[in-house]
Amino acid sequence: MPTLLLVRHGRSTANAAGILAGWTPGVNLDEHGERQAKDLAERLAAVPLAQVVSSPLDRCRQTLAPLLQARAELTQRLDERLGECRYGDWTGRPLSELAAEPLWRTVQAHPSAVVFPGPEGESMRELSHRAVDSVREWDAEVEREHGADAVWLACSHGDVIKAIVADALGLHLDNFQRISVEPCSVTVIRYTPLRPFLTRLGDTGDLSGLAPRASAEGDSEAASAASSADAVIGGDTGVR
């Protein structure tokens, strides 16, 4: 049961300008986003990572650059299924302008019905399916290659991460707008044979507690239960 760290890219020039970037080439991190990326590498310093996977878009790769520089043992794998939603004719337009479009209300209230306009547009359902398939397949590969206690990281985009979280929580896609993830935040999911566990959502603080702890003789039954596929009755004990 590996642990997945879902990282949203740092703040981009499009984020700062209120533009829907989509797959527009050349969208980079702004100065604040670059600082967030450096901070992310420091926040993850104590967490061993078995694998790093990323959206191929520049803003995700730039977010991971300080981490990969600091951790020479890591390589980055790219997966287009973790790429941003293909917003079609909405790509590159200001959010303030898009808010006046009739489709905007559907995006807000009934995203499972949304297909973005134009030949390049995809549906939110397609986005959800490809993203969930990606992380579940990578998670299984990480477990096969690195064991059940491995921690791995995937860097992606806001709507992609929200769709993955909705799936983990058993939420209908129409409820995914209730989820919020900030730039360079870390969301943590652990998939088990019985259910996924969402253990952190949009965390921008200390991540050292995500490092696996070696079990010692005499560990309590509560600790064993906490690491299994069973939910801990009464709530997590805090013992790892």
CA distance 137 to 18: 33
Predicted confidence at residue 39, as pLDDT, reads 97
Could you tell me the two tokens for 177?
């707008």
Give the model's confidence band at 225: pLDDT under 50 very low, under 70 low, under 90 confident, else very high: very low
Provide mean pLDDT across the span 4-31: 96
Give the model's confidence band at 1: pLDDT under 50 very low, under 70 low, under 90 confident, else very high: confident
Give the model's confidence band at 24: pLDDT under 50 very low, under 70 low, under 90 confident, else very high: very high
* pLDDT digits 0-9 by tens, 155-168: 999 999 999 999 99
Residue 78: phi and psi, rounded to 5, are: -105, 140
Map out the domains of the chain with their CATH numbers.
3-226 (3.40.50.1240)
Residue 222's Cβ-count burial label (10 Å; 0-12, 13-18, 19+) is middle
Q: Determine which of 163-167, 201-205, 236-240 has the lowest per-residue pLDDT on average.
A: 236-240
* pLDDT digits 0-9 by tens, 107-147: 999 999 999 999 999 999 999 999 999 999 999 999 999 99
